[in-house]
Amino acid sequence: MTVVIIAFSRKRPSRSSRSESGSRERSSPREEGGRFHKSSITRLLACLATALAVTAGLFVVQAPAASAADITTDLGITSGGDVVAGGGKAFIAGGDRILVVNANGTPNATIAGLSGALGLAIAPNGTRLYAALRDSNEVAVIDTASLEIIRLISLAEYPCPTNLALSGTRLFVGYGCDQWDGGVVRIDTSFGHGSRPTPVTSTYASPKVAAAGNTLVVGDALSPATLSVYDVNAFHTTLRGIIDGHDYHAGFLGDLAITPDGSTIIAAFLNSAEYFAWDTTSLQEVHAYGPDPSSGYYAPVVAVSPDGTRVAGGRGTKSGLVVTVYDSATTTPVYTGTLTDHGAFMDLRSLTFSNNDLFALWKDLATHHLHLWRLETGALPESTLTLTAPSTGTGADVLTLTGRLTMPDGSAPGEQPIAVTCHVNDSPGTTFEVTTAEDGTFTFKDRPGSAGVIRYDVIWNGSPTVHWSTASATVTLVKAVSSITLSAPETGTVGTQLKVTGTLLLGGQRAVFAAPLKISRKVTNSNGTVVTALPSANGASRDGSFRFTDTPPEAGEYTYLVQWDGNQASLPTSATFDVTIEEAEQG
């Protein structure tokens, strides 16, 4: 077989500090009525030829394939597109919301009521999440424990915030709504409510940003793409130098990532089958990862592991998604994941490491739905999680469940958070958190409030050195038997108020919620029988007790009926009591 290899020569960049209005010609993705520049198309076609050569069999990546445990989930959203991970969870920007998932990709919670959530950044310790709100021109600061928005930082003068990068307490925001109105601002988050944006640079459109240590990298939206590298200190952001896209025949920039120490920047370009790495001090190219056999169709994305030892890159193609993980030092592929069981075109939007796993966000271009793909990229020592629950009960019961988290070597894990999700009859479920004791044991109580099949899923979201683990337990509940007790006088007189008290019991226990009760009065005398609903009746309070009053209008035999219609947890019930009402004595 004859294989043609198309390779681009790469020159060493010069350190420079030329202005962004330099004289070299550069195209933008919106030039010529929205068409790509002719030179960009030429490079894209050349890149496609390279991809075809790769597909023909020249390059064979000897790396572990995707695990059977890998999952993909339709998130049910069509806007947004960024994913970050921290604290054992992943966060997905979804336009009017941010979705929160556990380490295994299962839903955890939703942060709702947002306006154009697009770009995300998370603190290394996972305690703070930052969200670019493009439509309201704000950055939201979110506590990841409570999922509460603790601060909104206005960017009214820098509209359409899109991309975020965080280094320590310094947050960098790439903004821009249209051509020639983009730029980067810096926000010192340590100032709390006094945080104010400070301009760093102006760009053609909203740029890519990456930051770590004392380094900020800004990637513009033109072709060839230029990477501007900045020194960052407590007070200033100063241009260190420029990596010129002309020197590397770079096309449009697909994505940027930076190592945790800020020493190396990794960039992915639309017209290249490789992911390039530059030293951020010397501005010299140090690595090229790939070539990626999936290159040549959609925009590529890249990510760096939290410890800086691995680089991940991938993109969507006509036939599916491909993600490859490389050893960052040797550039050797160590893992390859593919997803091809969806017929429509699949566009990979964002990629992030979660301990030893990867989360990839992709869009189905037929339905426009965003999907989350979780990939297990390597083997970590396995933890063990157990959960024990009663097998049966009633819908009114308070259930007690116990469990234990055990480390791979059998050691005590110390206090660890466990996420608990309760599914009632296969409902989407509600999630809460419990904490283990030092020895890994935990206990929690829950009142499902419904009969049926109740499933509890628990997950420990793992650590950088120990794999996450899950467990489940199922309880079958029947409706509880209900009863009503009543207390009232046996006799009364016309025109004198009767006072009645009672208690609603569900499964032999007082009802713990306000329960609506129907109360009626039947009067039998020489005039016949009349039944009247009492509109002034009050429902049972949260301790199951209730009371009502009635003023008999005439003499006769009275029967009061109190009814509870039941609910999803308890059966209906009723109770009656009889009162003889006599005419009042004439004075």
The DSSP bridge partners found for residue 167 are 170
Of 153-157, 294-298, 369-373, 520-524, minimum mean pLDDT range? 294-298
Which residue type does 542 have? Answer: R
3-state SS of 60-127 is: CCCCCCCCCCCEEEECCCCCCCCEEEECCEEEEECEEEEEEECCCCCEEEEEEEEEEEEEEEECCCCC
| Type of residue numbered 181 | D
Residue 3: C-alpha distances to residues 44, 221, 273 (Å): 19, 34, 16
Rounded Cα–Cα distance for residues 26 and 37 (Å): 9
Q: Is cis: bond before 224, omega within 30 of 0?
A: yes
pLDDT band at 56 (very low <50, low <70, confident <90, very high): very low
Tell me whether strands 128-133 and 138-143 are parallel, antiparallel or unpaired: antiparallel
User: Does 263 score more than 80 pLDDT?
Assistant: yes
- CATH class, domain 482-582, is mainly beta
pLDDT tens string 216-256: 999 998 899 999 999 999 889 999 999 999 998 889 999 99
Instruction: Count other C-beta atoms under 10 Å from residue 4's C-beta.
Output: 10
The residue among 316 and 353 whose pLDDT is bigger is: 353
Q: What backbone phi and psi angles, to 5 degrees, belong to 53? A: -65, -40
Rg of the Cα trace of the chain? 32
Q: Which tokens is 295 given?
A: 């290159």
Distance CA(373)–CA(523), nearest Å, equals 68
Closest listed residue to residue 20, CA positions, set 222, 311, 268: 222
**For the residues 312-324, what does the mean pLDDT come to?**
86
Count helices and strands in the chain by DSSP H and E runs: 2, 44
pLDDT tens across 530-558, in order? 999 996 556 677 788 999 999 999 999 99
Separation of CA 58 from chain center: 39
The gap from C-alpha 140 to its chain's centroid, in whole angstroms, comes to 15
At 202-221, the pLDDT tens digits run 999 999 999 999 999 999 98
Q: Where are the domains positioned within the chain?
A: 37-376, 384-478, 482-582
Strand partners, 139: 132, 153
Find the mean pLDDT for residues 353-363: 92
Question: What distance in Å separates the CA atoms of residue 239 and residue 215, rounded to the nearest whole number?
Answer: 10
pLDDT over 70 at 295, yes or no:
no
DSSP three-state, residue 214: coil
Percentage of the chain beyond pLDDT 70 is 85
DSSP secondary structure of 123-191? -TTSSEEEEEETTTTEEEEEETTTTEEEEEEE-TTS-SEEEEEEETTEEEEEE-SSTT-EEEEEEEGGG
pTM (2 decimals)?
A: 0.75
Q: Domain 37-376: give its CATH code.
A: 2.130.10.10
CA distance 93 to 122: 12
Side by side, the strands of the sheet bearing 556-564 are 491-493, 573-582, 556-564, 518-525, 528-533
How far apart, in Å, do the first and last CA atoms of the chain sit? 121
For residues 484-506, give the mean pLDDT: 94
The encoded tokens of residue 550 equal 């009635």
What is d(CA 433, CA 221) in angstroms, rounded to the nearest whole number?
42
What are the two backbone dihedrals, phi and then psi, of residue 577, each rounded to the nearest 5 degrees?
-145, 150
What is d(CA 97, CA 117) in angstroms, rounded to the nearest whole number? Answer: 7
Fold match, 37-376 / 482-582: no
CATH class of 384-478: mainly beta
CA 77 – CA 97 distance, rounded (Å): 9
Average of per-residue pLDDT values in the chain: 85
